[in-house]
Amino acid sequence: MLSRISSKFAVQMREIEKSFGFQKILNSFNIDVEKGSIHAVLGENGAGKTTLMNILYGICKADSGKIFLNGKLVNIKNSRIAIKNKIGMVHQHFMLIENFTVLENIILGNEITKKFGILDIKKARYQILEISNKYKLNVDLDAKIENISVGMQQRVEILKSLYRGADILILDEPTAVLTPNETIDLISTAKEFASENKTVVIITHKLNEIKSSSDVCTIIKAGKNIDTLNIRSTSQEELATKMVGRTFALAVEKNRTKAEFGETVLKIKNLNVENKKGILAVKNLSFKIRAGEILGLAGVDGNGQKELVEAIICGIKSKSGSIEICGKQIQNTSVQNVIKNGVSIVHEDRKKLGLILDFTVAENSIFSTYNLKLFSNKGILNMKAIHSFAEKLIENYNIKPQKCSEYLTKNLSGGNQQKIIIAREIASNPKLLIVVQPTRGLDISAALYVEKILMKERNKGKAILLVSFELDEIIKLSDTITVIYNGSIIKAFTQNNFSKNEIGVLMAGGGRTENYSKDA
């Protein structure tokens, strides 16, 4: 199936090998990307797709292997060479400098200057505007990155590549943070780009988007090229089977018996919260969650979810309104008090917020419960109890490596780190469990495991607040779906009583603001 090296192909990679430590990420990987096509690279988390593209873009070096661009062998030692060869990359986590302006971000590293390296802002502005008009990439050049939406940030990233004259554009999980409408815009930009005999490579693990966007799809699994398929003649199920290597049901069993919700656990009324800059990020927001209910908060990142969650756990102060746990006011008390009242949280950014990576697994396993008498009596830690507690969690949740309670947490894989947090938070037997992006960065089997646990806890009668930027995840798990936009809840849907399209439109701000509080 390998084609000959030819200038017909924008990119051809041959026998690429890459290991990190003992782990082999890419195993004699081959790929051909035709000019003028939109080529999807599909694979699970951890399959090696991002590493592959990082090699193409010179961010990391392959241990061995060759890369041909337009039929010519090139040695891409660093990003500078990749840029020179007209490769551009939009990373999954944007590489933007928050307190720089859009313009500064775009020109950085490729500045237009007058004499003595003095910046020529005027000329740069003119050039960028020309490109952004051509591809309808609308941005505000003088705004600071920290003040613009995620969608616009992505457009800045694309502009960065186009400004450097990219002919090959790599998009790493581009739709993860977009609303459905923004996704459509992105795909049309990509198509416009490809129509000029330029090339787009999209890395994704989302099956359904490939159909609408791409021409060709390469499936990568455990660092190997499993197959390259023509999208038009392949079904979604076929793609899924190839990606995972076994057939599995795409939909998770919700095993919903009739919804029987218990008492109200969390009740939020007319909540207002300001963000760091003092702008109202949560506006007059109300909702409630009952025992045995998963409430999914759907919305694009940056619409007040972070502030809402932090206000609930009293990480930041709320301005007005009320937050009650089982009838008890908790708002603007302390994190300690919120935990005492039975609230647990699994943070989105587990490495930064959920774990102390330099602690042992045992020490992390009591991170939210170390105040219990079992673990610390009169201020002295009970090492024995902590250790045996950790070992129990490790066994119950199948955390690897086995018996790792004395390991430093940073030496565990991301999936196992996530398991520690979830195990710990569930073990604290909360009334309300808040989970933010619980499966982000996990491979499919780990993600399934996490989802199963959430279902199990729901069935045990826990109230769960699920915050996720992936609509599919919300739809899959939630009993009730509420849509948050610009700090307000736009609409709430009960069980199965919704359409994905409608939610998508609402997430993008396409709905009237309807006060949901009358329902609460």
Partner 1 sequence: MNSFLSIISITLMYSAPLIFSALGGVISERSGVINIGIEGMMVTGAFWATFTCCFTNNPWLGFLIGGISGSLLALFHAIASVFLKADQTISGVALNLIGPGLAFFFCGLLFDGKTATNPITNKLPKIFGNNNFISEFMGVLNVDITVVIALILTFVIWFFLYKTKWGLRVRAIGEHPVAADALGINVLKLRALCVIVSGFLAGLGGSSVTLTISSQFNQTSISGQGFIALAALIFGKWTPFGAYFACLFFGFSQALAINFGGYNFISPTLLSCLPYFFTLLALMFVGKSVSPKSNGIPYKKA
Partner 2 sequence: MVELKIIVKTLKKPFPSLMFSILLGFSVSILILALTGYSPFEVIKSLLNGVFSKPKYISNVIIKSTPIILTGISVALAFKAGLFNIGAEGQFIAGSIASVAAGILFDLPAFFQILVVLFFGALFGALFGCLVGFLKSKFGIHEVISGIMLNWISLHICNFFVSLEMFHKPNSNNSFAIRETGYTDLKKSFSFLKNSSFSDILKTDINIGFFFAVILAILVAFLLNKTKNGYEIRAIGFNSKAAKFAGINIEKNIISVMLICGGISGLAASLTITGVSPHCVSILSGFENNGFNGLPVSLIAYNSPIGCIFSGLFFGILIYAGKSMQSELSTPSEIINIMIGIIVFFVSVAGIFPYLLEGIFKRRKKNE
- Binding residues for partner 1 (CB under 8 A): 54, 57, 59-60, 78-83, 89, 91, 95-100, 104, 107-111, 113, 116-119, 160
Whole-number minimum distance, CB 331 to partner 1, in Å?
25
Selection from partner 2, partner 1, none that 98 binds (CB < 5 to 8 A by kind) is: partner 1
Whole-number minimum distance, CB 428 to partner 2, in Å?
11
**Contact between residue 461 and residue 292 where contact means Cβ atoms under 8 Å apart:** yes
Which region, judged by CB under 8 A, interacts with partner 2, from 71-79, 101-109, 334-342, 390-398?
Answer: 334-342
Q: Whose Cβ is closer to partner 2: residue 124's or residue 345's?
A: 345
Q: Whose Cβ is closer to partner 1: residue 82's or residue 268's?
A: 82
Selection from partner 2, partner 1, none that 335 binds (CB < 5 to 8 A by kind) is: partner 2
Q: Whose Cβ is closer to partner 1: residue 49's or residue 160's?
A: 160
Total residues at the site for partner 2 (CB under 8 A)?
27
Selection from partner 2, partner 1, none that 118 binds (CB < 5 to 8 A by kind) is: partner 1
Q: Which residues contact 35 (CB under 8 A, 6 or more apart)?
A: 8, 9, 10, 70, 197, 198, 199
Position 262: which residue type?
G
**Contact between residue 189 and residue 131 where contact means Cβ atoms under 8 Å apart:** no
Q: Whose Cβ is closer to partner 2: residue 93's or residue 232's?
A: 93
Considering only CA atoms, which of 306, 304, 298, 312 is closest in space to residue 283? Answer: 304
Rounded distance, CA 61 to CA 76, Å?
8
Selection from partner 1, partner 2, none that 371 binds (CB < 5 to 8 A by kind) is: partner 2
Q: Whose Cβ is closer to partner 2: residue 428's or residue 486's?
A: 428
Rounded distance, CA 93 to CA 154, Å?
10
Position 437: which residue type?
Q
**Contact between residue 164 and residue 158 where contact means Cβ atoms under 8 Å apart:** no
Please report, as residue ranges, which positions from 286 to 315 form the binding site for partner 2 (by CB under 8 A).
313, 315
Q: Does 380 participate in binding partner 2 (rule CB under 8 A)?
A: yes
Selection from partner 2, partner 1, none that 117 binds (CB < 5 to 8 A by kind) is: partner 1
Selection from partner 2, partner 1, none that 172 binds (CB < 5 to 8 A by kind) is: none
Rounded distance, CA 289 to CA 269, Å?
12
Q: Does 347 participate in binding partner 2 (rule CB under 8 A)?
A: yes
Asked if the peptide bond before residue 401 counts as cis, ω within 30 degrees of 0, the response is yes
Selection from partner 1, partner 2, none that 96 binds (CB < 5 to 8 A by kind) is: partner 1
Whole-number minimum distance, CB 83 to partner 1, in Å?
5
Whole-number minimum distance, CB 97 to partner 1, in Å?
5
Instruction: Please identify which residue in 50, 213, 368, 417 interacts with partner 2, judged by CB under 8 A.
Output: 368
Q: Does 363 participate in binding partner 2 (rule CB under 8 A)?
A: yes
Please report, as residue ranges, which positions from 205 to 224 form the binding site for partner 2 (by CB under 8 A).
none
Neighbours of 242 (CB within 10 A): 17
Q: Does 357 participate in binding partner 2 (rule CB under 8 A)?
A: yes
And the tokens for 51? 């590493």
Q: Whose Cβ is closer to partner 1: residue 252's or residue 353's?
A: 353
Q: Whose Cβ is closer to partner 1: residue 232's or residue 352's?
A: 352
**Contact between residue 54 and residue 67 where contact means Cβ atoms under 8 Å apart:** no
Q: Where are the alpha helices (DSSP H) in 1-101?
A: 49-56, 79-84
**Contact between residue 330 and residue 341 where contact means Cβ atoms under 8 Å apart:** yes
**Contact between residue 469 and residue 299 where contact means Cβ atoms under 8 Å apart:** yes
**If you search the block for the tokens 């989970």, which residue do you land on?**
435
**Contact between residue 289 and residue 265 where contact means Cβ atoms under 8 Å apart:** yes
Q: Does 334 participate in binding partner 2 (rule CB under 8 A)?
A: yes
And the tokens for 313? 């756990």
And the tokens for 437? 């992006």
Instruction: Please identify which residue in 11, 25, 339, 390 interacts with partner 2, judged by CB under 8 A.
Output: 339
**Contact between residue 89 and residue 57 where contact means Cβ atoms under 8 Å apart:** yes
In the complex, the residues that contact partner 2 under the rule CB under 8 A are: 313, 315, 334-336, 338-339, 345, 347, 352-359, 363, 367-368, 370-371, 376, 379-381, 383
